[in-house]
Amino acid sequence: MSKATVLDASALLALLGSEPGSEVVAETIPGSAISTVNLSEVVSKLTERGVPEQAVRAALGEIELEIHPFSEDLAYRTGFLRLATRSLGLSLGDRACLALGLQLEATVLTTDRNWRELDLGIEIRAIR
């Protein structure tokens, strides 16, 4: 892909688990971006699945991602997305991902097909 890509937590989890759609995500590595909010979601899910901390850090450390801190600008962008995404019930993490996509003018990859209903001025791709 020539355009920048932002990964939702669900897309990164699909890659880590070799789930359907993982090949779409793999094509964007290295260089895909993720918010620290979404990275935290991935760590939480892996921990819930019983993956030890050292293994979580090792697995994520092997993937060449651009990790973007949840800055003040991203906090505002995330908050302002609430009204535009309320009808779909998007979480704070979902909106943080989309806010980073907007900030970077990037394509966003997710497993959440309903995000395609959003008209935010960026490309949103469901990986499966």
Architecture of domain 5-126: 3-Layer(aba) Sandwich (3.40)
Q: Give the angle 36-15-42 at the CA atoms, nearest 5°.
A: 30
Average pLDDT, the chain: 96
CA–CA gap between residue 27 and residue 52 (Å, rounded): 27
- What's this model's pTM, rounded to 2 decimal places? 0.94
Question: Domains of the chain: which residue ranges?
Answer: 5-126
Instruction: Please give the backbone phi and psi of residue 107, each rounded to the nearest 5 degrees, phi first.
Output: -75, 135
Q: What is the pLDDT of residue 3?
A: 80
pLDDT tens digit sequence for 114-128: 999 999 999 999 999
